[in-house]
Amino acid sequence: MEAETETVVSVAMEMEQREIINNVMCLLTDPDGTPLGAPMYLPQNAGPQQLQRIVNKLLNNEEKLPYAFYISDEELLVPLATYLQKNKVSVEKALPIVCQPQAVFRIRPVNRCSATISGHGEAVLTVAFSPDGRQLASGSGDTTVRFWDIGTQTPLYTCTGHKNWVLCIAWSPDGKYLVSGSKSGELQCWDPHTGKSLSNPLTGHKQWITGISWEPIHLNAPCRRFVSASKDGDARIWDITLKKCVIVLSGHTLAVTCVKWGGDGVIYTGSQDCTIKVWETTQGKLIRELKGHGHWVNSLALSTEYVLRTGAFDHTGKQCSSPEEMKQVALERYNKMRGNAPERLVSGSDDFTMFLWEPFVSKHPKTRMTGHQQLVNHVYFSPDGQWVASASFDKSVKLWNGTTGKFVAAFRGHVGPVYQISWSADSRLLLSGSKDSTLKVWDIRTRKLKQDLPGHADEVFSVDWSPDGEKVASGGKDKVLKLWMG
């Protein structure tokens, strides 16, 4: 009898051991590293689909949401066992798996040029879609701003009033205004529905405008205030209703090259003096200085940029009936995107490096991002905040983890400096425009070139992927605007 009991016990123990061998202790976390629960044993044959079910259960999601799973920045596309064998991962401690919510909708990759629209008399220097993706504007060396009818793919309005090249344009997050800044330092505000100027030129800057950013609509509706940056070393806050400058942000010792109005209500300015300054916006007081770069700061990106740009507009296309409702919807979208983590900032510089900052947490960078062999011209967070992409004069585009700043992949294929990048709304595709006259679409999951888009006759200065994901616009030295569709 005793022997029998012993056999049963040893068989049970053996089974238990086998069970343990066949299970992997995993710790499921959100993108910011916060655990979704205690570490748990998962069967080795569990793959992304089983993990989807577990996460939706853990989070009590009424609607089943799609997730992607990452183990040290590599997407898990196979069962755990296959991954562990291939990567020879030790399973002595809990395996961290990052659960990244995916956009419910999917964007089709653009693959053909649907229109080449001439009209500008000089190079197209900047293009931008409206927050709902239904309108398109461009600024050119011919001193005009143009609005284009996307439906008929023809010119809509030509806006004259600038005396010099139009270097930058910015839509208000409610889509009601477009502001443009020129090489002679003046700003103009336009009504996109009529193409008419809403006031005399806004003057005050002594040199050319390098950037424009609007106050987020979840902080103030209807949209009234925007900030401009200039080569003269100042940034200025303007009120569109008062039609004048209300605050001057002075303190940089050289040109201000880029500006962002953050979702937490502060303004970030990057400068040729190698610093980034953080300002509050009621009196224009300097809150803190972010130091670390050894050369000019060229570009700033915010982790919340996509929701700040689109405000109350999302992929469903539903309309708000009042500014109050817009503010409310935008606030919900912003809070959902931000989660519990602070807003993150990335800076790209002439010193070939980038820094990842959490300005509300510390004045020291979270990490230094190195690898580019030439100046970093443009940095941009993906709409979900998971990735940072950087474009460089070294002809490459690089991909980094948006939370840790860790290098993930390099996209090579351009044969000239890369000027500008733009993301698809679902964060699955990345677009780049280059001096080599091509646009390229990169697949984030496979880390490969998805589509090569030749067609421009010369350098591509500006690219934008519409926030609704349906089309891409590009402009460059050949004076034409091109629209690309999926």
As a residue count, the chain comes to 486
Residues of the chain by 3-state class (helix, strand, coil), percent to 5: 15, 40, 45
pLDDT-derived band at 152, boundaries 50, 70, 90: confident
Q: Where are the beta strands (DSSP E) in 145-230?
A: 145-149, 154-159, 166-171, 178-182, 187-191, 196-197, 209-214, 225-230
Distance of alpha carbon 150 from alpha carbon 134, whole angstroms: 7
Distance of alpha carbon 73 from the chain centroid: 18
Confidence of residue 458 (pLDDT cuts 50, 70, 90): very high
- Calculate ∠ Cα 396-97-57, nearest 5°: 125
473-478: long-range contacts at Cβ-Cβ below 8 A with a sequence spacing of 24 or more? Answer: 473/127, 473/129, 473/136, 473/138, 474/127, 474/433, 474/439, 475/120, 475/123, 475/124, 475/125, 475/126, 475/127, 475/138, 475/140, 476/123, 476/124, 476/433, 476/437, 477/123, 478/123, 478/437
How far is residue 366 from each of residues 232, 322, 356, measured CA to CA in Å? 30, 40, 5
Contact status, residue 298 vs residue 258, Cβ threshold 8 Å: yes
pLDDT at 455 over 50: yes
Band of the pLDDT at 4, cuts 50, 70, 90? low
* Residue 157 pLDDT: 96
Reported confidence tier of residue 13, pLDDT bands at 50, 70, 90: low
DSSP class per residue in 361-378: T-SS-SEEE---SS-EEE
pTM of the model as a whole: 0.91
Task: Give the DSSP letter string of 235-265.
Answer: EEEEETTTTEEEEEE---SS-EEEEEE-TTS
49: which DSSP letter?
H
Res. 15 pLDDT band, cuts 50 70 90: very low
Q: How many CB atoms lie within 10 A of CB 296?
A: 18
Q: Is 50 exceeded by the pLDDT of residue 197?
A: yes
Element (H, E) at 413: none
Q: How far apart are CA 476 and CA 50, in angstroms?
A: 47
Of all residues in the chain, what percent carry a pLDDT higher than 70? 95
With cut-offs at 50, 70 and 90, classify the pLDDT of residue 90. confident
- Using alpha carbons, select from 235, 225, 283 the residue that is nearest to residue 255: 235
Of 17-26, 268-277, 466-475, which gets the smallest average pLDDT? 17-26
Contact between 400 and 387 under an 8 Å Cβ cutoff? The reply is: yes
Buried b (16+ CB within 10 A) or exposed e, 214-232: bbbbbbbbbbbbbbbbbbb
Q: What is the dihedral angle through the alpha carbons of 185, 292, 300, 428, rounded to the nearest 10 degrees?
A: 160
On the question of pLDDT at 20 being above 90, the answer is no
383-424 pLDDT, tens per residue? Answer: 999 999 999 999 999 999 999 999 999 999 999 999 999 999
Q: Which residue has the higher pLDDT, 136 or 61?
A: 136
pLDDT value at 471 more than 90: yes
Helices (H), 31-145: 48-58, 80-87
SS3 108: coil
- Residue type present at position 92: E
Mean pLDDT of 479-485: 95
Return the closest-CA partner of residue 166 out of 182, 189, 179.
Answer: 182
Residue 5: the pLDDT is 55
From the number of C-beta atoms within 10 Å of its C-beta (0-12, 13-18, 19+), residue 152 rates as: exposed
- Locus of tokens 């469903």: 316
Percent of the chain with pLDDT over 90: 82
Residue range 181-186: average pLDDT?
Answer: 97
Mean pLDDT on 301-324: 93
Higher local confidence (pLDDT), 91 or 67: 67
The whole-chain average pLDDT of the chain stands at 93
pLDDT of residue 486: 78
Burial (Cβ within 10 Å: 0-12, 13-18, ≥19) of residue 386: buried
How large is the average pLDDT for residues 241-255? 97
Kindly report, residue by residue over 91-119, the tens digit of the pLDDT: 678 899 999 999 988 999 999 999 999 98
Asked if residue 64 has pLDDT above 60, the reply is yes
Q: What is the pLDDT of residue 65?
A: 87
In the predicted model, what is the mean pLDDT of residues 224-236?
98
Q: Which residues pair with 431 in a beta bridge?
A: 422, 441
Q: Strand, coil or helix: what is 483?
A: strand
